[in-house]
Structure 1
Amino acid sequence: MKLLVIEDEFKAAIYLRKGLSEEGYIVDVAHTGVDGLHMAAVGDYDLVILDWMLPGIDGFAVLAALRHTRSMPVLMLTARGQIEDRVRGL
């Protein structure tokens, strides 16, 4: 299974890549919304793990653009926890 992690915090991205790779997943990482969107658009990924707050374009803009061109599962990753944020994420 091939995963794309779009996460701007380098330590978090490294931990995610390491943990998921140890479980047998193939993991690519992008550190900006622009790079992540490009990789997701041209790559063949089974799942995208997408941070909400990214430099360049945010996670919601990445998700909206992906939904116009691709159909793949996306797991939103965020530290935000207010009800409004959770509803927006759905």
Structure 2
Amino acid sequence: MVRVLLVEDNELNRDMLSRRLLRRGFEVVMALDGAQALALAVSAEPALILMDMSLPVIDGWEATRRLKAEAATASIPVIGLTAHAMAGDREACLQAGCDDYDTKPVDLARLLGKIEAQLTRVGRVFEP
């Protein structure tokens, strides 16, 4: 099973997305803020991180920068998730270290395509 770290502070978003990922065959580990995400990225060893960018404690921007600065977590693909769909938001996510970006509300088919592309890029195969 491919383990995904879902970092989301909104309970409804977290519940909806985690259930959908579980049904697709992923193992889902959840963090409620950026500090928890940093700890779980090391201890849970996820294959991929779905990172909400607007988080309490440490926001997704800073958490991603820290993940990409540490040798133990730098290679984990991070897909930034944000309700911001303004011009420049994708570039800001990529500059923070995200490997890709998607908007909320999540279009599951589009997000699954991005997850598969990132897993393939790092040599992980996922077959639901």
Question: TM-score under structure 1 normalisation?
Answer: 0.94
User: Structure 2 regions of 5+ residues with no counterpart?
Assistant: 95-128
Provide the C-alpha distance between the structure 2 equivalents of 1:78 and 1:45, rounded to a whole number of angstroms: 20
Aligned-pair identity (%): 31
User: Structure 1 regions of 5+ residues with no counterpart?
Assistant: none
Q: Which has the higher contact order (CA 8 A, sep 6+)?
A: 1
Larger Rg: 2
| Shift, 1:54, TM fit | 0.1
Residues 5-59 of structure 1: CA deviation (Å, up to 9, x unaligned): 0000011001111000011100011111111111112221111000010000110
The Cα RMSD (Å) is 0.9
Matches within 5 A, 1:5-20: 5-20=6-21
User: Which stretches of structure 1, 4 residues or more, deviate above 6 A after TM superposition?
Assistant: none
1:29 and 2:30 aligned: yes
Q: What SS does the aligned partner of 2:88 have? A: helix
Equivalenced residues, count: 90
Contact 1:3 / 1:27 at 8 angstroms: preserved in 2?
A: yes
